Structure formats: C-alpha cells, structure tokens
Amino acid sequence: MLVKGILSTWLFMLLFSNVFAASRTIPDELYEGMIQFELDSGRYFDALVLMDESYKKTNPIKYLSALQGFNINQDLPQLVEQAKNQKNLTDADYFSLGKSEYLRDDCMSALKLFKNIQGNLPLESKEPLAFYRANCFINLGSNTRAAQSLTGMIGGIWAAYAYYNLAISYASGSRDKTKALVALRVAESLNNGASKEAKSLNDRINLVAGKLYLESGKKDSAVQFFQKVYLDSESTPPALYFNGLAQLELGDFRAATQAWHSLKHYPLINQSVSEALLAIPFAFERSGYISQTIEAYLEASNSFESELEKIDKIDGLLTKHGAVKIFIDDSEIEGLEWFLAKDVVRNTTRASYYQYLMQNYGFYDQVQLFSELSVLQTSLDFWVSQLAVFEKSLRSKLSSFRNKQSTFDGPSIIREINTQKNEIDALLKQSGMNPTLASNLEVDAMKNNIEALRQRLDDLQQKIQKGERRLNDQLTEVKRLGQDIIKIERNLKQLHRALGDELTKSARLHLASLRKKMVSNFERSEQGLIHIFEDMAESKQMKKRNLLDGRYQ
C-alpha cells in the first residue's frame, strides 16, 4: 500500500518533469514532413507556427514560401537574396524562388532564376514552370518568347491558361486576330479537364473567340462560339449580349431580342445586362416597331432608375453600418433582410453587389486581409479559453499538491523502509538460514526492492522540494502568455477596425463608380426616348409640310 502510494505520487511528479522543454523531441524526418504537409495543404499559418529558428535557417526557401502564402511580404526580398546565395540549390529550389519573384511582380528576376533549372524538375512542376515563364514574357512584352516557352506543353489547366493568356495578349496587341484565335484553339484543345475551373476557362475561351470573330465581321462563327458558353457561368452575361449583337447583324431580330431578354434574369449591375436593356429598343427601332421601342426604353429607364435607388440605399447602409456588417459578417439588421439574405441562389442583391466589388483586385485583397486577421483573432480567442482552463487546472493541482505535501511524511516512510531492511537483516542472521533457503525466500530480491524504494523516495523528496516552484512557474507562464495575448489582441482589434473603415471607403468608392455608369445608362435610355419622339415629331412635321407644299400635290 505504502509502495503504491509512493509510486503514484512519483508518477504525478513525473508528469511535470518536462514542462518547459523547448527543444523538440520529435525525429527530424517527422517534423519536416509535418511542415511539408501543412505547406502543401495551403495552411501557411500552421506551417509557420511549426517552423522553429533552426528549421528556418536550414530551409529558407520553404520559410519564404510560407511567409508569402500568408501574405507576409516585408522580409521577402532579403530572404530571396539569402536563399539565392545558398550552395547546391536544386531545380525545385530555383522553381520555388522564381515563382516567389513572379508573385512579387519581378519578372526579370523570376526569368533569371528559372534559367538555372537544368531539367530535373518533377513532372507536376513542369507545366506551372512553362506557365510562369510565358506570363513573364507576356508581361515584359514579348509574345514570341512566350509562345516559344509554351512549346512542348502536354495539356491540362496550366497549359490551357497559358495559351489563353497568350491569346489575350495577341488580341490586345495586334489588329490581326489570327494568332489570338489560333492560341485560343490550342488552349481549348489542351483544356481537357472536367473540373469547375476547367469549365469556366472553356467558357472564357469561347467568349473571347466569339468576340474576336465578331470584331472581324465573321458573325456566323461568332454565334457558334457564344452559344457554347454554359448558362451558369460568369461569362454568360457578356456571351448572351454579344450573341444578340451578332444575331442582329445577321438580320435575325427575333434571336437577338431573345438573347437580350434572357439577360433580364441577371443582375443589372453587370454592364452586359445594362447594354442588353439598351440594345432591345435599338433592335425594335431598327425593325420599325416604334411603340415597342418606346416601351422598351421606358422599361430600361425604370430599371436603371430603380437600380440607382438601390445603389443609393446600399451607399447609405455602408455609411451607417460599415462594409463589414453589410458584406462580410453574418449580420441581422432589422429592416434589412431583403439585402442581407444569403439564399441558395447566387443572384441575391447582396451576392451580386459582393461579386461586383470582389472583381476589383484591391477590394479583394482588402477582404482577404480582413479574413486573415479574423483567423488570427479566432486563434487568440481559442488560446484565451485554453489558458483559462490551464490556469484552473494548475491552481487545482497546486492546491492538491499542497494537501498531499502536508500529509506526506517522509521521515516515517524512511523509518518504515529501515525497519523492513532491519527485519531482512535479522532474518538473514537467524540460525538455520542457509544460501538455499535465502534463495528460496528471494531475500536478495527483497533487499534490492528495499534499496530501489529508498532511491525512489530520495528522488521523490527532491521533486517535492521542486514541485511547488514548478507549478508556480507554470502559473506565471500562463499569466505571461495571457498578458501577451491581451496586448496583441488590443492591436489586432484596432487594426481590424481600421481595415473595416478602409473597406467601407473602398466599397463606397466603387459604388460611386457604379452609380456613374448607371446614371450614364439611364441618360442613354432617356436620350433614346427623346430621339424616338423627335423622329416622330419630325415625320409628322414632314407629312404636314408635304401636305401644305403645293409642289407635292
């Protein structure tokens, strides 16, 4: 019983023997594999938390990839320079460094680094390499070099995107659209995936190809491409609008207006939808349907006017509640259910305005930063609750330890052990005791156990002396960590607020630009109406004049 008590106390003490061990006990292979797993899964924050100083020094390229992945860019130039000067860089290292430079918009440096790749790159990195090189050449103004760097691409989404980008570059840089169309054809043939991304790219390829054919006057070919665009894609509104345009030029008034009418299901803030609303009366007018023209212009004017009211209302909401509550948080504001609803359909007012704002890179980056800060806030909240649990548990252990310490009677245990030892010694000295009997009674084993007990008791007494101090140290550490959290949390909240204000400013700025466009659309429809009425007045005047003019009688 006594031995059991001693051992359990000893086990309890052992639990705290390594509390402040900072050096890692995990084998290097497992530790590095864990970091690799987090990096490749895109969990850069977790990867960075795992990386200790020695890992960062020996793996600067992985460290800088993780930093860049979590958008910590201040130290990148210095880290890239350090990494470049490392000896024995592999092809994979040059690829990572080049990619990092490409992502920092330094194409010259990226291309120089890519040039060091000897051909030992894993297969899955070869396609991205060709993509980055081609994009760099396009950015630097050399479509020819870009095309050369793409030769030999096997297929897949990287290859398809690379050729798509090349096509866009050809289309914007030259009047002759042949090269752009050829590049688009290659992109389509290389894009054989069935993923959502691959389908979306196919839609974009078809839209651009159609538009290029339309610009070249080949309306039949254009229509074929526009009709290939799926109806649930972000390319659908422009494809439908241009399809209508091509149909009208082919003389098919009915098909043109059908395409434009179908756009009424899409949000008006998409400029293709606005253009379609204006194109409908134009088509009616061209076909001589004057009353329908007037109706269509009136409908367009009303739609634009109502959208302008909506824009003003959202602007007012932004001013009152801020962009975070209106667009990001799951808010419940009385009277705003119509806007804050997050239905399964994607064309709710909130969703369409959110999509509109997120198409701007600057706004997108701000929202991304906001969400990163929210992740950090969540991690701090988690630790605040964890530390509260640790503190409670440590205090209870300290109190229990003090109770146990007060009831722990070391000298009496030593006396007990000595008594046991004396009894064994006395047993050995008894007459009739011989080695065989001693062996049968396992006297040596008993003596050894007694010695082991004495040793354990010595260790335990030392640990008891240290125990309270150790628990107090842990409590101090909990307090220190808690204070550090409070300090950082204060700064984080302040930053969150400031970023929220910036988001509001930015959203209002974009809404102002949208409003300007909507006013212009409204004016165009009103001018269309004036034009029709003027024509009507003019034709009446002409008729009257003709009747009065004797020469025509």
Q: Which is nearer to other proteins, 94 or 340 (CB)?
A: 94
Residue 132's Cα: distance from chain center in Å? 20
Dist. CA 450–CA 418, nearest whole Å: 9
Q: Look up residue 288 and give its two tokens.
A: 């001589």
Residue 303 one-letter amino acid: S
Dist. CA 129–CA 91, nearest whole Å: 11
Tell me which H or E stretch contains 484. Answer: helix 443-548
Q: Which is nearer to other proteins, 39 or 64 (CB)?
A: 39
Q: Which is nearer to other proteins, 253 or 282 (CB)?
A: 282
Dist. CA 279–CA 521, nearest whole Å: 11
CB of 210 to other proteins, least distance (A): 10
CB of 513 to other proteins, least distance (A): 6
- As a whole number of Å, the CA-based R_g of the chain is 38
Q: Which is nearer to other proteins, 2 or 19 (CB)?
A: 19
Q: Which is nearer to other proteins, 421 or 510 (CB)?
A: 510
Residue 384's Cα: distance from chain center in Å? 25
CB of 377 to other proteins, least distance (A): 9
Dist. CA 40–CA 20, nearest whole Å: 30
110: closest CA among 88, 140, 86?
140
CB of 544 to other proteins, least distance (A): 21
Residue 71 one-letter amino acid: N
CB of 339 to other proteins, least distance (A): 21
User: How many other C-beta atoms can be found within 10 angstroms of the C-beta atom of residue 426?
Assistant: 9
Q: Which is nearer to other proteins, 83 or 171 (CB)?
A: 171
CA angle 248, 251, 254 (to 5 degrees): 65
CA angle 405, 409, 413 (to 5 degrees): 135
Query: Residue 194: helix, strand or coil by DSSP?
Result: coil
CB of 550 to other proteins, least distance (A): 29
Dist. CA 438–CA 410, nearest whole Å: 30
User: How many other C-beta atoms can be found within 10 angstroms of the C-beta atom of residue 334?
Assistant: 5
CB of 127 to other proteins, least distance (A): 14
CA distances from 235 to 82, 193, 229, 273, 318 (A): 44, 18, 7, 12, 29
Residue 114 one-letter amino acid: F
Dist. CA 368–CA 100, nearest whole Å: 19
| Secondary structure string (H, E, C) spanning 54-79 | HHHHHCHHHHHHHHHHCCCCCCHHHH
Dist. CA 532–CA 293, nearest whole Å: 8
CB of 44 to other proteins, least distance (A): 10
Q: Let me know: does 39 contact 64? Beta carbons within 8 Å.
A: no
Q: Which is nearer to other proteins, 53 or 549 (CB)?
A: 53
CB of 415 to other proteins, least distance (A): 30
Q: Which is nearer to other proteins, 111 or 201 (CB)?
A: 201
CB of 286 to other proteins, least distance (A): 10
Q: Which is nearer to other proteins, 373 or 441 (CB)?
A: 373
Q: Which is nearer to other proteins, 383 or 408 (CB)?
A: 383
Q: Which is nearer to other proteins, 145 or 517 (CB)?
A: 517
99: closest CA among 62, 49, 143?
62
CB of 51 to other proteins, least distance (A): 8
